């Protein structure tokens, strides 16, 4: 091959790589800046703090503010148990909500004698930030809350209960060193693969976009863009990968009528999970993140059975 054709081939290769990196960066930006409330078809209620403020005022619960590793202010509400049994559950809300959404689950844990910590994800409620980063910073945020609890009580046993985005974030945390120290996880309505979910939802409203249609072809370039911006590969953001490194007990919960995140994703998470104690509960007739509201009694019973605790005792069975 002549020098001319070699040079041409090299030029084409360079242009192709440059083009792929450019498009990969556009897709990364599309994922990070998309109006996910529109994409997912949910209302943005994240800044309406009326519900949690009313509860804080009525019950004199304490507001809590801590600083994330990157300097972002994080907000929460601490709900003390009637008698401190050195056990606390952190409850994580879904996307475009705030910690007021988590009030729903407080009575269930208070019946067992748990302190409850309700937190706002960054970008929602009273926490700083501009929206979810799908785990880039949230994992560090969760660890900051765990550190705060352990500083408050060195003997504390910590559990986690997440719904939708909150469930996904706690599962991402579960694979870390800190995550292995958590006593239990309840993951309600988590997605499994971020790329599959995001691409599918974006296609539904931007079907004409060649970027979205071609994402599978240029995934390596999306990987490169993600690593460039965050220092992580795409697997870092997938609960489906994280559960392969879990050790703590986990209860997966999913509605049988969930059309936002299909029940098959819960089955895949359960199958891939490496925890020695894992259970799965499908709430009949429940849509996305509505299992508790659909059958509160059954939901609570499943959680109590999983924990091996009963409301009348407020302590773990021996």
- pLDDT for 40 equals 74
Residue 261 and residue 301 in one domain: yes
Helix (H) or strand (E) holding 197: helix 194-205
Residue 176 lies in a domain: yes
Residue 318 lies in a domain: no
- pLDDT for 23 equals 65
Give me the number of domains the chain comprises: 2
Contacts of 54 (CB under 8 A, 6+ apart): none
pLDDT tens-digit map of 242-277: 999 999 999 999 999 999 999 999 999 999 999 999
Residue 133 and residue 269 in one domain: yes
Task: Read off the CATH number of the domain in which 50 is found.
Answer: 3.40.50.1820
Residue 2 and residue 100 in one domain: no
Are 132 and 106 within 8 A, CB to CB? no
Domain that residue 61 falls in: 43-193+238-307
d(CA 153, CA 157) in angstroms, rounded, equals: 9
pLDDT tens-digit map of 199-248: 555 555 454 455 455 555 567 777 888 878 888 888 899 999 999 999 99
If pLDDT is split at 50, 70 and 90, which confidence band does 8 have?
low
Are 202 and 30 within 8 A, CB to CB? yes
Task: Point out the domain boundary residue: 185, 214, 235.
Answer: 235
Task: Point out the domain boundary residue: 235, 263, 292.
Answer: 235
pLDDT tens-digit map of 143-199: 999 999 999 999 999 999 999 999 999 999 999 999 999 999 999 999 998 777 665
pLDDT tens-digit map of 105-156: 999 999 999 999 999 999 999 999 988 999 999 999 999 999 999 999 999 9
Percent of the chain with pLDDT over 70: 83
Residue 38 lies in a domain: no
If pLDDT is split at 50, 70 and 90, which confidence band does 317 have?
very low
- pLDDT for 19 equals 63
Residue 209 and residue 70 in one domain: no
Residue 204 lies in a domain: yes
Helix (H) or strand (E) holding 158: strand 157-163
Task: Point out the domain boundary residue: 235, 257, 285.
Answer: 235
Residue 102 lies in a domain: yes
- pTM to 2 decimal places: 0.87
Residue 160 and residue 57 in one domain: yes
If pLDDT is split at 50, 70 and 90, which confidence band does 316 have?
very low
**Which span out of 15-24, 204-213, 307-316 was modeled with the highest average pLDDT?**
307-316
Residue 132 and residue 209 in one domain: no
């Amino acid at each position: 091959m002549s020098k001319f054709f070699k040079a041409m081939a090299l030029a084409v290769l360079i242009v192709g790589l440059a083009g792929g990196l450019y498009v990969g960066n556009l897709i990364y930006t599309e994922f990070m800046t998309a109006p996910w409330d529109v994409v997912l078809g949910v209302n943005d209620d994240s800044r309406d703090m009326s519900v949690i403020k009313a509860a804080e005022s009525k019950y004199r619960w304490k507001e809590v503010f801590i600083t994330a590793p990157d300097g972002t202010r994080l907000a929460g509400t601490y709900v003390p148990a009637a008698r401190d049994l050195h056990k606390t559950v952190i409850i994580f809300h879904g996307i475009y909500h705030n910690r007021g959404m988590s009030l729903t689950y407080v009575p269930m844990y208070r019946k067992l004698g748990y302190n409850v910590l309700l937190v706002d994800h960054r970008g929602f409620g009273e926490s700083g930030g501009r929206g979810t980063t799908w785990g880039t910073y949230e994992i560090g945020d969760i660890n900051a809350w765990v550190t705060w609890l352990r500083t408050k009580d060195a003997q504390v046993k910590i559990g986690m209960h997440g719904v939708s985005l909150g469930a996904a974030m706690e599962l991402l945390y579960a694979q870390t060193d800190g995550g292995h120290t958590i006593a239990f996880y309840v993951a309600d309505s988590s997605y499994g693969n971020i790329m599959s979910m995001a691409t599918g939802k974006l296609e539904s409203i931007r079907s004409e976009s060649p970027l979205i249609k071609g994402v599978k072809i240029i995934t390596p370039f999306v990987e490169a863009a993600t690593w460039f911006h965050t220092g992580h590969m795409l697997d870092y953001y997938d609960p489906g990968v994280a559960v392969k490194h879990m050790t703590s007990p986990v209860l997966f919960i999913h509605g049988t009528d969930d059309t936002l995140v299909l029940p098959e994703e819960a089955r895949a998470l359960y199958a891939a999970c490496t925890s020695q104690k894992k259970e799965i509960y499908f709430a009949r007739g429940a849509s996305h993140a509505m299992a508790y509201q659909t059958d509160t009694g059954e939901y609570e019973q499943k959680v109590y059975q999983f924990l091996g605790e009963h409301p009348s005792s407020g302590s773990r069975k021996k």
